[in-house]
Each structure stands twice: as structure tokens, then as C-alpha cells.
Chains A and B, each alone.
Chain A
């Protein structure tokens, strides 16, 4: 651990660097994220409506919607279009299911050179891994809470 004097100096330098470093405009980024993220969701809703119009049930339609969005995202990743979209939209293209698909497909493409097992196998979830792990873990915790509340008769 550096001594207090050094820590203070480091803090000062950090503050100074923050001052001279340009950053993206937050409102502009938010507006773009809203626009593209919204459009992706609209597309999803449209697919869902189409599926239901063809007489599929709600559950099945939802599965088709996710599947088609993932397929589109993976295709756009392979064609190198998704990164351009993400550069513009930021979280707008990162948060929907398409962003997740992009992170998996991109890793698969990049690490394919290192082999089917050590490359694709080990590294396909390098970016998506934390989302999968902590997503499942938190749903497990919520499940326990739900179960406890049931046992205690709160729900």
C-alpha cells in the first residue's frame, strides 16, 4: 500500500486527468440508446404479433421472437454490421437479447483459430459468461426467497 502522501498525489493526478479527458455526451448517448434499443424491441413486438397472427400461442410466439432476434444478431455479427450498430447505439444494442448473442458470436469467431475445444469451447462465453453465471445465480436466490415466503405463508 502506498503511503498517504503518494495516495494523495495519485488522487490529485486522477482528478486532473478526469478534467482533461474528453468523454462521450451522456444525453446524446442516452437518446441514441433509446432510439435503437426501442427499435429492436419494436421489431421483437412485430415478430411476436406476426407469430400470433399466424395462430401460434403466446409462449411459442415468444420463443420464436427470441430465436429470430438472436439469429439476426448473429448474422449481423458475422457480417461485421453489429459492431457498427453498437458503436452508435451503445447500451441500446447491448442490453437487448441481440447484444448477448453478439458477444457470444463474436467470441466464437475470434477464438475459432485456437481450436474447437480450447478456442471456441473454452472461450465462447468469455464476455457472456458473467451474465450467465450471475443471471442463473440471482434467479436461484430469488427462487429460494419465493419458496421461503410461501412456506411462511406470506404469499
Chain B
């Protein structure tokens, strides 16, 4: 079989993998944000009709996955496997969310970069001929994430200005061999990058070096310049992280300010929604990707996009034991199909 690798860390798919559908469901606050109209559904009840934050997130993910399958015009049995992940310990939101589907599953953890991981592995499975249709889905929930990583919700404290707000939301995509108007043509798998920062309330600064590393490597491996992309979209760097990413890439001689966009900065209005540095969480990059970025590529408004969700790889234990917060970022190159046909 022909090698599909390119450069040091990238894959160039010989046969691009189609994105058949994208679906997203978000919470009330996200629905009130600037992208409120583009999401498929906005849930007004933060508990999504359940009794706990964890169950709420599971329900959210399940509904989103079902929606994506329906939008692709498929039945559940036609999905060969699912790549799913979330932020909770042992990824329980995913496990309990999609258990009912009775579809083979690979559970993933890449912190907030999980959508990049799910799309990458899904694309590889389809490209390798291991599946006709794959579902990639991730979710996050403000309530469950606060409980997992920080304080009980009703505990009174002040969040630093560098902190991000975990998105209550889920995004799902169905990948397949053909069909759809957007396709995944290449991947750049990210390394764990650690600049030694220990401030878990400044995750943008912890993840920016990883985003820089993956974007730089993508340019190297594919021999591209920032101008070769219509957009370079990071996951949840927020204001602080965005600034650092620009500076770090500038040091390497690349100016991406014209192309760059951050899902965390798009999803909320920082001025009125009191979210501080921006949005974060698996559901941030996933929902913005499925409902905002993907449609733009499908319509051909953007011909080629580099989607780079970023994750901060920490746990409550690693943080308490004084470990640093390493980052990771996975790059997915999307193209609109018209361009491929040219």
C-alpha cells in the first residue's frame, strides 16, 4: 500500500475523506452568544432533563450524535465505529452517552483538542478502508467541568481574567468515503508541548506553544505558507492564548493574524457575557466546527482551512502535585469539494 505520510508529523490522504454532516447542540449561554443562530439546537435547561451534570452532558452528546447521523441521511447501523471523548474523568460522559447506540466505540481523551483527535482518527479509519462511515463526537458541560476541575458551582470566588469559560455544548460529524461538500485532505498530529507553565487558570498560555508547534509543523510538512489557508482555526486559546500564539509564530517568521480565528473567541461575546478570556472545552471547538466552520467550507466560502483544536493536559491530581500543564494540538486540513474538482 502506498505511503500517505508527508514531512515529519503529517498525513496526506490519497483519497480525501468526506464530511457528510455536522451537528451541534449547545447550552443557553452559548445560544445567547454571537453564534447563537448557527447551532442546530439550543437547550434552555442546563440539566437537559436529567438529575446530574454528568448525565446532562451524556444526554447532550447522545442527542448531538443522533442528529449528525440523521443529517447525514444514515441509520445508526450504518455507522461502523464512533470516536468519542469528553473532559470528565475516564470519559464517562461519552461512555454513558452513546452506550445505547450499540455501535463499536473508541473512547478518546485529548482534553479540549479531542475533536481534532476524533476527526483525525476517524479520517484515518475511513481512508484506510476500515469503515464506510465513522462518527466523531465530543462534548463538554460547564457544570460537570467545574465540578471535575475546579469548585462546586455555588462556591463564591473570583475567576482570574485569564480564565476561560467551559462551553456547554457538543459537536458531531459523520465521515464517509464519498458525498458531502467538504473533505479532510490532510492531518498533522500534535506532540505534547510543555513550556513548564503551572497556571491552570491560564490555559490559553499553556496551550499556545502546542498550537504554534502543530501549525508550524503543518507549514513545514505540507510546504505551505499562512496565505495557503483561508482560515487557521484554533480551538480555545482565548484572548491571552491568541496573543501568545501570534507572537510565538512571529518569532518563527510566520504572520497568521489575517487567517487566524479562535473558536473560544467566536462563541461568546467577551464584553457582555462575562466569560473573561473566552470559551473552552471539548464542546467549544466541536460545536463551532460543526456549525460554523464546516458550513463555510461546504459552501466554498473558505476553500481550505486548517482546524487546530488545542488541549491542556492536566488533571486535578497532577495540578495538586505541582506538575506543569502541557498542551497538545491536532491539525486537520479541510477543503471544499469544488476546489478538489478543479
Interface 1/0 per residue, B187-209 and A, CB below 8 Å: 00000000111010010010001
Which segment, of A17-25, A46-54, A59-67, faces chain B?
A17-25
Complex alpha-carbon distance, A20 and B152, angstroms: 29
Interface 1/0 per residue, A54-87 and B, CB below 8 Å: 0000000000000000000000011010111111
B326 to chain A, nearest CB (A): 12
- Take A23-B161, A86-B157, A94-B157 as given contacts and tell me if A111 and B196 are in contact as well, using a CB distance cutoff of 8 Å: no
Q: Is the CB of A13 within 8 A of B243?
A: no
Interface 1/0 per residue, B124-156 and A, CB below 8 Å: 000000000000000000000001000111111
Complex alpha-carbon distance, A9 and B324, angstroms: 14
The chain B residue with its CB closest to the CB of A102 is B156
Interface 1/0 per residue, A122-138 and B, CB below 8 Å: 00000100000000000
Q: Is the CB of B155 within 8 A of A83?
A: yes
Name the contact of B160 in the complex, choosing from A9, A17, A24, A105 (C-beta under 8 A): A24
Residue B158 interfacial (CB < 8 Å):
yes
Q: Is the CB of A20 within 8 A of B160?
A: no
Interface range for A = 35 or more
Residue A116 interfacial (CB < 8 Å):
no
Name the contact of B158 in the complex, choosing from A90, A107, A109, A110 (C-beta under 8 A): A90
Q: Is the CB of B160 within 8 A of A80?
A: no
Q: Is the CB of A109 within 8 A of B152?
A: yes
Complex alpha-carbon distance, A107 and B152, angstroms: 6
Residue B240 interfacial (CB < 8 Å):
yes
**Residues in A neighbouring B159, C-beta threshold 8 A:** 87
Q: Is the CB of B161 within 8 A of A106?
A: no
Residue B52 interfacial (CB < 8 Å):
yes
- Take A80-B154, A110-B153 as given contacts and tell me if A17 and B202 are in contact as well, using a CB distance cutoff of 8 Å: yes
Name the contact of B152 in the complex, choosing from A10, A17, A110 (C-beta under 8 A): A110
Q: Is the CB of A13 within 8 A of B196?
A: yes
Name the contact of B244 in the complex, choosing from A7, A20, A86, A111 (C-beta under 8 A): A20
Complex alpha-carbon distance, A93 and B196, angstroms: 33
B165 to chain A, nearest CB (A): 13
- Take A17-B197, A17-B202, A21-B205 as given contacts and tell me if A106 and B160 are in contact as well, using a CB distance cutoff of 8 Å: no
Complex alpha-carbon distance, A113 and B51, angstroms: 8
Interface 1/0 per residue, A1-33 and B, CB below 8 Å: 010001101100110110011111000010000
**Residues in B neighbouring A9, C-beta threshold 8 A:** 195-196
Complex alpha-carbon distance, A78 and B153, angstroms: 11
Name the contact of A20 in the complex, choosing from B147, B156, B240 (C-beta under 8 A): B240
Binding site for A on B (CB under 8 A): 51-52, 147, 151-162, 195-197, 199, 202, 205, 209, 240, 243-244, 247
Kindly list 5 other residue pairs between chains A and B, CB separation below 8 angstroms, not including A16-B247, A22-B161, A77-B154: A16-B244, A17-B205, A83-B156, A90-B158, A107-B152
Binding site for B on A (CB under 8 A): 2, 6-7, 9-10, 13-14, 16-17, 20-24, 29, 77-78, 80, 82-87, 90, 93-94, 99, 102-103, 105-107, 109-111, 113, 127
- Please name the 4 residue pairs, one residue from A and one from B, whose CB atoms are nearest each other, closest first: A86-B156, A10-B196, A110-B152, A106-B155
